[in-house]
Structure 1
Amino acid sequence: MNNRSYVINHWSFKACDETEWKPARVPGTVHTDLFRNGLIPNPFDGTNEHDLQWIDRKDWEYETSFELDEAWFALPRLELVFDGLDTYADVTVNGVHVLSADNMFRVWRIDVKPLLQQGTNKMVVRFRSPIAEDLPKLEGLGYDLPAPNDQSELGGLGDRRVSVFARKAPYHYGWDWGPRFVTSGIWREVRLEGWCGPVIRDLSIRQDRVNASVAELTAVAEVETAERWEGQLRVTNGEQTWERSVVLEPGTQAVEVPAVISEPKLWWCRGLGEPAMYNFRAELVANGGQAPLAEASVRTGLRDIKLVRETDAAGASFRFELNGVPVFAKGANHIPNDSFLTEVTDERYRHEIASAAESGMNMLRVWGGGIYEQDVFYELCDEYGILVWQDFMFACSMYPGDPKFLDSVTHEAEDNIKRLRNHPCIALWCGNNEIDSAWAHYLEDKGWGWKQSYTTEQREKLWADYEAVFHEILPKAVERLANGVAYWPSSPLRRLTGDEFQHANELSGEGDIHYWGVWHAVEPFDNYNLRVGRFMSEYGFQSFPELKSVLTYAPESELALESDIMLAHQKNGRGNQLIKEYMDLYLPTPKDFKSFLYMSQVLQAEAIRTAIEAHRRNKPYCMGTLYWQMNDCWPVASWAGMDYYGRWKALQYTVRRSFREVMLAISEPESGPISVSVVSDLQHPVEAQLRLSLYDFQGTLLKEQTLEVRAAADSVVEAVVFARAEWLEGRDPRQVVLHAILEIEGQAVDSKPYYFASAKELSLPTANITVQEEAGSGGSRYTLVSDALARQVWISAEEEGIFSDNYFDLIPGIPVTVEFRRRGGESSVEPFVAGNPGKLTVRSMIDFV
């Protein structure tokens, strides 16, 4: 092969109205280049965000020089390839304009051979201010478009919200968990590619029929050639080879090669089997030749994934089936890991996906206000067996519908579907986040109050523009390119009907649901038990990160709920006060603000535990629970279970217990007996022993009962029901705890405490906890014992890492052994490595009140 590829590095940057060039990092952003050059302070510190809003008003330019030897010019085609330009960019090569880019999510490829020269070549990329670019579009439209998360006031724009006009990550303009940093920059790789003869532009493995017996596949190669060419297209997976003769005409064409694999190793998500992967390579070989003239390879898994929506007595199902097996989706919503995307290393991605796997998840939703993630994200989801619900990048806004915008969206969809379609993790393409329910076109008194601000003519125009994107362009692109993966127009949605039955309602019995009554509507936690839909794709509750993380953006003097810095790092309006209001309802009063941080995490974990257990208890009516949210893009008080630094909150440990394959769930309706259920996601029946033990807070065993439990495959069984009085027998409900433990073949698979009074009412004793290192563990395993009930025991380590369990209750006489695993780091292939945590600090709730 004579094809060549060269990554272009060594960039400098400056503001267009300045003269001094500074070193730049590509991929990168203006903000991070300014920070690295000492020209701005850390954007995440204190209230610095407010002082850095000038950056997006300027135009910026990047330049580089690169050397080409004569060998390059023997190739008939030389192309510049930009994998990502953020966002409005003009590119010149040796002083000649070659490209005007206007979509962050697209790949740009330009033939530049006539402009290049042997020796030194110069390239300049000039980024136009996205604010200056889009304000005229808003003025030309004549009316605002709804975009409530666009923090235009912070950006000095008043109520002029321009985010919807840019095909750029929506969260860059702010969100209710993220800052407003409207970036510019070369955010993905830049290459020069040279080629001659035919070239394979894209290789897709279409999975026509896949089951345990056979995989009937079609390798589809997109081939470009400048001249007519005859030869063979050969496809191999390392064990088998398939080929066909081809005649290529000048231009681009798709060439298909059928392939059959008998008894394939299937790709499974976590909990159902191993995520087996295959490598496929396609080669173009000239007639009579042996060496390939062009080649391409992909790595994929063979699987059959379906979204099943079948009418039933309650409405219609909403579940995923993988290789014919129903999947109860357990997971969370993913947002970008940083406000500055190029700061996210492969290690940070691995830490997130490994944390999801460690937490028992089998699905992540890539939410529509961020980005189509980097390749490594999906590669890791493939590797760890994590299904991906993939939104297109539209969220909580109405968008324009002019021909240029629609054309840009069409190319964006094509680029990203083609890039991601070989990943077996992709389970669904979803048009947008919350727009159908926010606008609620067919119900005058529903929605978010948007449409009432518009005339009838404007409403119809906005809805027609909406339908052009989400009911025409995107579903057609998915049908044509996504190799059979389903499309869902908007989340949440009941079904696509074109009438009032389309818009989501948590009690409708069909579609997916975003339930925010708890939190936004200040409803009680118990409402999680009442508001259960067929698939819970969003719900959540906030907390603060731990003190170590808070101190990275706030000094000790600012550790107060309503301090300027604490409010700057709380993007959800009344968020801090909401946490306090709920805490006043459910938990003891913390003794100071540092204790408040801890207690907020305990509160968040209790809320989401209640929700997850309710959703899993209602299987198979409910077949998915994805809480909001997995991660953070900066250090902040938010709904995340894992903070910006990757530190697990109490929520992440609670989720890990709540997503166990076999789980105990204890519930007590307001008027009714206490119920203990066993939820099993195992694909085979289980026989278990359930032991219920009542203790006082000093560890005295007051009563005990053992029951045999049989659970069918993939089922929920109510193991026992009893009245409170039956176990309390007149004892003070504030001073006893019921401990439930479930054993299978003598091994504990889950255990749970149950309290007969709220955490706020419990008479917690002073607890002394002893910690003993396990012999032979190399300092990685420790056994904890308490002399009195210790609630929400928090073990913190000097080293960064995770424990096998944390934020658990210690009942006297029942030891708990935990293992510490250090975070692997950039140089490690393992995300977590058993090791010494350094100094351990162990505290429980009594220490914070």
Structure 2
Amino acid sequence: MAQTPLHEGWLLSTTRGPVPETIRGREIRAVVPSSAHLDLMAAGLIPDPYLDRGEEELTWMHRTDWRYRLAFDAPAAAPDELVDLVFDGLDTVATVTLNGHVLGTTANMHRSYRFDVRDHLADGPNELVVDLRSALEYAEETEAVLGRREHVYPHPFNMVRKMACSFGWDWGPDLQTAGIWKPVRLERRRTARLSRVRPLVSVAPDGSGVVEVHADIARTRVAGAVDEPAVELSARIAGSSARTVLAAGATTAVLRLTVPDARLWWPAGYGEQPLYDLEVVLTGPGPDDAELDRFHRRVGFRTVTVDTTPDETGTPFTFVVNGTRIFAKGANWIPDDHFLTRITRERLERRVDQALGAHMNMLRVWGGGIYETDDFYEVCDERGMLVWQDFPFACASYPEEEPLRGEIEAEARENVARLAGHPSLALWNGGNENLWGFADWGWPEQLAGRTWGLGYYTELLPRIVAELDPTTPYADGSPYTPGAPVGGIHPNDQDHGTRHEWEVWNRLDYTAYRDHTPRFCSEFGFQGPPTWATLTRWIHDEPLGATSPAFLLHQKAEDGNAKLDRGLEPHLPAPRSFEDWHWATQLNQARAVAFGVEHFRSWWPRTAGTLVWQLNDCWPVTSWAAVDGDERPKPLWYALRDAYAPRLLTFQPRAGRLALAVVNDTGEPWTGHLTLERRTLQGAVLADAKVDIQAAPRSVVLIEPDDALLTPDDVRQEVLVASSKDVRAVHTFCEDRDLAYRPDALSAEAHAVPGGYRVDVRARSFARDIAVLADRAAPDAVVDDMLVTLLPGETHSFHVRTDRVIDPDVLTSAPVLRSVNSLCHALPETE
């Protein structure tokens, strides 16, 4: 099979809509794959929508139609040859025309399209046109026909199979991209091609790895062609091979390969990730057995299930990999750039490495985005990052009638088959918050009996997964209660299945995380602004502040800044400036989420997973992310690295008193000595105790401190400290805003070292959550550690990596060197 990419020479123009005079009637160079926004930006015709208030200036693009045009040369189809025009992805509502002949229409960015152009391809010059109409107007028209179904944001994103967050979300811009967003090519064949290959990978009871290669063959049938010949399918992996002959007319085959004593693939933190090269080859007739088509995939041998066997508490939701129960430590994943074609494999590697660096072992690909790319899954395969993949449904009721139903089935079949065999794939999930929405958000009254998606989640999608990827478990949605019909146990019940915890962000203080002990918390989080370098690169308000116009445009959450202030007020000293507010809200975000993670981890095995909302951002914005839109880690990332550490000490309430949870998420016993001390902020030890730790692998042990350790003489002047070698937990007896911190608790020196600087910090008094905000000193600067707490007399060295020359004094003073102490206004009166 011969392939010819069609990526060079495209032109872009508008054909209808409220187009500015500076753009109307112009035809500009276009990049494929890409989008209209990026092409107009490259031509200097529109502002960058991420910059300041650029998003507001581009709403005209929501109701604009576009034309992509390509002139190319190609030979006509030979009498015995089939020629297909293949689009791997079109965004979204398109009409495709070749040399004046309409080949077909599309209305789904989540699937590919193939058109037979044998009869329309000219010998020599050809013209290919892709007309894209407004996805918003298409969705509005579909809604008018099918009837309104509730959705959480103004646009009817549930009426078109397009990335839902393209229409805006509470962390994303409303840009509504349009374009040829994946590769396009001509494919020529004379005999047959591999139309689909599904490797189903399992492990036999004797430890052998088993690969079942399910192959679908597309034959060439054209008038005047010779009789359809037999073809041969072969497969090979790790020295094992198999082959079969497909007689004329046969279009499917299954090959079974066995790898004795296969090395198992494990999630990060549980073992290694060996991958095996699987090659599948289709060959044709003739003395040389000419190769017709080839498929390659690296696979890993593992088993994965989700234990939902009812127990004395309710219904667990525990991932089991290779027979081992896993505590899922992870985050939710959104598209890493709103402009999807700018996401490279290298960028995905950096992001997944950041997740690994924070001790995560699972990412949930959220249902308002896309089916992620092959690159994403390959990167996760290599690194042991389990992936929970939502089907693209989020926060809305979805019609089960045409034209949507057929599109949904087609996209699901294509993507389940495409992703089957990736060892990282741990769960197919029906969608995000739709079962919850039906239960709590007033949908039944609005729907008045109309369909809303239940048939997708409980019938169509599980049937497709069972047929095409039976090696991967399926869940109806998130949150959901396994086995509970609509109207039964609430889908967000803490004792059953998965739970989303959003009362904390929306209404309650973050200490309310302790009010619930879910079986698996698949969404929870708290907001904070991006790093200073990211913020000031994209927002240039004068003066810059939390209520300045561009800053507010980059705060998409309803009542977002007020929620930040309400969340901050009970805990930290009141900020005196915008710079203080920026640091305090970032710190409070880190504190809030770490508080929740530590609570949930302390309840293993009752609670079997936490997926923070969210790992990443798609543009520069105040959001729940740990890594901002310019790829910089926020303080939250460092807090997660500590809270998800393989060994954790955390003070937690149990039965009306404070206990110390010893969390051992390693494969080795945690044994040793533990020191408990009640100290003054100036360092005096008022009470202490020595305890032996005996924590089995993958376990949690509770230690009850003596009353003398739990009863302070002065709550403002004392802290409780638990330490075992390099693992420490600190408990304060009152909130930071009331603690008698010394604002001048730190002294620091900075020294140039190879690759950057070393900042040596010493504590005169108790100093909490010390941070070197390195990006404030240089945009490329990254610090190795953050949110470090020091007792009086202790020191810590922060290492700053940068290619810039920085004045060392900048690294040792505010606003770069910060802590909770630096938010205090003055020494407490008792000092």
Please report the TM-score for the alignment, with normalisation by the length of structure 2: 0.92
Judged with a 3 Å threshold, the aligned counterparts in structure 2 of structure 1 residues 791 and 800 are, in CA distance, closer, same or farther, namely: same
- CA deviations on 1:582-605 (whole Å, 9 max, x unpaired) are 211111011111110110011111
- CA deviations on 1:230-263 (whole Å, 9 max, x unpaired) are 35422112x4132233123347x22111111111
Q: Residue 660 of structure 2 is aligned with which of 653, 668, 676? A: 676
Match of 1:817, SS state, is strand
Following superposition, the deviation at residue 350 of structure 1 comes to: 1.6
Judged with a 3 Å threshold, the aligned counterparts in structure 2 of structure 1 residues 134 and 784 are, in CA distance, closer, same or farther, namely: same
Following superposition, the deviation at residue 572 of structure 1 comes to: 1.4
Following superposition, the deviation at residue 556 of structure 1 comes to: 4.7
- Distance in 2, matches of 1:415 and 1:351, equals 28
- Distance in 1, matches of 2:664 and 2:368, equals 34
Following superposition, the deviation at residue 515 of structure 1 comes to: 1.2
- CA deviations on 1:793-833 (whole Å, 9 max, x unpaired) are 1212225364332122222322223444569xxxxxxxxxx
Q: For residue 343 of structure 1, what is the aligned residue in structure 2?
A: 342
Asked if the contact 1:211/1:303 (under 8 Å) is kept, the reply is no
Asked if the contact 2:677/2:709 (under 8 Å) is kept, the reply is no
- Distance in 2, matches of 1:727 and 1:327, equals 33
Match of 1:179, SS state, is strand
Following superposition, the deviation at residue 640 of structure 1 comes to: 1.0
Q: For residue 758 of structure 1, what is the aligned residue in structure 2?
A: 735
Following superposition, the deviation at residue 376 of structure 1 comes to: 1.4
Match of 1:418, SS state, is helix
Q: For residue 224 of structure 2, what is the aligned residue in structure 1?
A: none
Q: Which amino acid aligns with 2:143?
A: L
Following superposition, the deviation at residue 208 of structure 1 comes to: 4.3
Q: For residue 698 of structure 1, what is the aligned residue in structure 2?
A: 682
Asked if the contact 2:300/2:422 (under 8 Å) is kept, the reply is yes
Structure 2 counterparts to residues 726-745 of structure 1, below 5 A: 726=709, 730=713, 732-743=714-725
Q: Residue 554 of structure 1 is aligned with which of 521, 527, 539? A: 539
Q: Which amino acid aligns with 1:137?
A: T
Asked if the contact 1:794/1:806 (under 8 Å) is kept, the reply is yes
Structure 2 counterparts to residues 336-735 of structure 1, below 5 A: 336-440=335-439, 447-452=440-445, 454=446, 458-463=447-452, 466-507=453-494, 509-520=495-506, 522-668=507-653, 672-723=656-707, 725-726=708-709, 730=713, 732-735=714-717
Q: Residue 188 of structure 2 is aligned with which of 191, 194, 197? A: 194
Match of 1:410, SS state, is helix
- Distance in 2, matches of 1:707 and 1:101, equals 67
Q: For residue 819 of structure 2, what is the aligned residue in structure 1?
A: 844
1:136 aligns with 2:129: no
Q: For residue 64 of structure 2, what is the aligned residue in structure 1?
A: 58
Asked if the contact 2:240/2:258 (under 8 Å) is kept, the reply is no
Q: Residue 205 of structure 1 is aligned with which of 181, 199, 205? A: 199
Match of 2:493, SS state, is coil
Shifted more, 489-498 versus 318-327: the winner is 489-498
Following superposition, the deviation at residue 398 of structure 1 comes to: 0.8
Asked if the contact 2:716/2:734 (under 8 Å) is kept, the reply is yes
Percentage of matched positions with identical amino acids:
32
- Distance in 1, matches of 2:543 and 2:406, equals 49
Please report the TM-score for the alignment, with normalisation by the length of structure 1: 0.90
Asked if the contact 2:380/2:387 (under 8 Å) is kept, the reply is yes
Q: Which amino acid aligns with 1:122?
A: E
Asked if the contact 1:13/1:62 (under 8 Å) is kept, the reply is yes
Q: Which amino acid aligns with 1:733?
A: V
- Distance in 1, matches of 2:805 and 2:118, equals 55
Match of 1:114, SS state, is coil
Q: For residue 295 of structure 2, what is the aligned residue in structure 1?
A: 296
Asked if the contact 1:177/1:571 (under 8 Å) is kept, the reply is yes
Q: For residue 747 of structure 2, what is the aligned residue in structure 1?
A: 769
Match of 1:572, SS state, is coil
Structure 2 counterparts to residues 1-40 of structure 1, below 5 A: 3-17=2-16, 18-40=24-46
Q: Which amino acid aligns with 2:190?
A: C
Match of 2:450, SS state, is helix
Q: Residue 785 of structure 2 is aligned with which of 780, 805, 812? A: 805
- Distance in 1, matches of 2:710 and 2:138, equals 69
Match of 2:483, SS state, is coil
Judged with a 3 Å threshold, the aligned counterparts in structure 2 of structure 1 residues 303 and 682 are, in CA distance, closer, same or farther, namely: same
1:163 aligns with 2:148: no
Judged with a 3 Å threshold, the aligned counterparts in structure 2 of structure 1 residues 572 and 214 are, in CA distance, closer, same or farther, namely: same
- CA deviations on 1:727-768 (whole Å, 9 max, x unpaired) are 5552x222233332223xxxx2x2222212211111111123
Q: For residue 19 of structure 2, what is the aligned residue in structure 1?
A: none
- Distance in 2, matches of 1:752 and 1:133, equals 55
Asked if the contact 2:573/2:823 (under 8 Å) is kept, the reply is no
Q: Which amino acid aligns with 1:263?
A: D
Following superposition, the deviation at residue 281 of structure 1 comes to: 0.4
- Distance in 1, matches of 2:136 and 2:233, equals 48
- CA deviations on 1:494-514 (whole Å, 9 max, x unpaired) are 12333422432333x211001
Q: For residue 444 of structure 1, what is the aligned residue in structure 2?
A: none
- CA deviations on 1:290-317 (whole Å, 9 max, x unpaired) are 5534322111111101111111111122
Q: Which amino acid aligns with 1:229?
A: P
Q: For residue 830 of structure 1, what is the aligned residue in structure 2?
A: none
1:278 aligns with 2:276: yes
- CA deviations on 1:307-342 (whole Å, 9 max, x unpaired) are 111111111221110011001000011111122212
Q: Residue 76 of structure 1 is aligned with which of 74, 81, 87? A: 81
- Distance in 2, matches of 1:505 and 1:373, equals 26
Q: Residue 128 of structure 2 is aligned with which of 123, 139, 148? A: 123
Following superposition, the deviation at residue 537 of structure 1 comes to: 0.5
Following superposition, the deviation at residue 66 of structure 1 comes to: 2.1
Asked if the contact 1:8/1:66 (under 8 Å) is kept, the reply is no
Structure 2 counterparts to residues 820-839 of structure 1, below 5 A: 820=800
Following superposition, the deviation at residue 633 of structure 1 comes to: 1.4
Cα root mean square deviation, aligned: 2.4
User: Unmatched 5+ residue regions in structure 1?
Assistant: 153-160, 441-446, 824-833
- Distance in 2, matches of 1:497 and 1:698, equals 55
Following superposition, the deviation at residue 9 of structure 1 comes to: 2.2
1:88 aligns with 2:118: no
- Distance in 2, matches of 1:537 and 1:31, equals 33
Following superposition, the deviation at residue 553 of structure 1 comes to: 3.1
- Distance in 1, matches of 2:177 and 2:317, equals 38
Asked if the contact 1:203/1:298 (under 8 Å) is kept, the reply is no
Match of 1:368, SS state, is coil
- Distance in 1, matches of 2:398 and 2:794, equals 58
Judged with a 3 Å threshold, the aligned counterparts in structure 2 of structure 1 residues 719 and 460 are, in CA distance, closer, same or farther, namely: same
Q: Which amino acid aligns with 1:449?
A: G
Match of 1:424, SS state, is coil
Q: Which amino acid aligns with 2:214?
A: V
- Distance in 2, matches of 1:540 and 1:271, equals 24
Asked if the contact 1:207/1:217 (under 8 Å) is kept, the reply is yes
Task: Report how many aligned residue pairs link the two structures.
Answer: 801
- Distance in 2, matches of 1:564 and 1:605, equals 26
Match of 1:137, SS state, is helix
Judged with a 3 Å threshold, the aligned counterparts in structure 2 of structure 1 residues 579 and 277 are, in CA distance, closer, same or farther, namely: same
Following superposition, the deviation at residue 205 of structure 1 comes to: 1.8
Asked if the contact 1:506/1:515 (under 8 Å) is kept, the reply is no
Asked if the contact 1:309/1:319 (under 8 Å) is kept, the reply is yes
Q: Which amino acid aligns with 1:270?
A: A
- Distance in 1, matches of 2:757 and 2:184, equals 44
Following superposition, the deviation at residue 425 of structure 1 comes to: 0.8
Judged with a 3 Å threshold, the aligned counterparts in structure 2 of structure 1 residues 191 and 611 are, in CA distance, closer, same or farther, namely: same
Match of 1:316, SS state, is coil
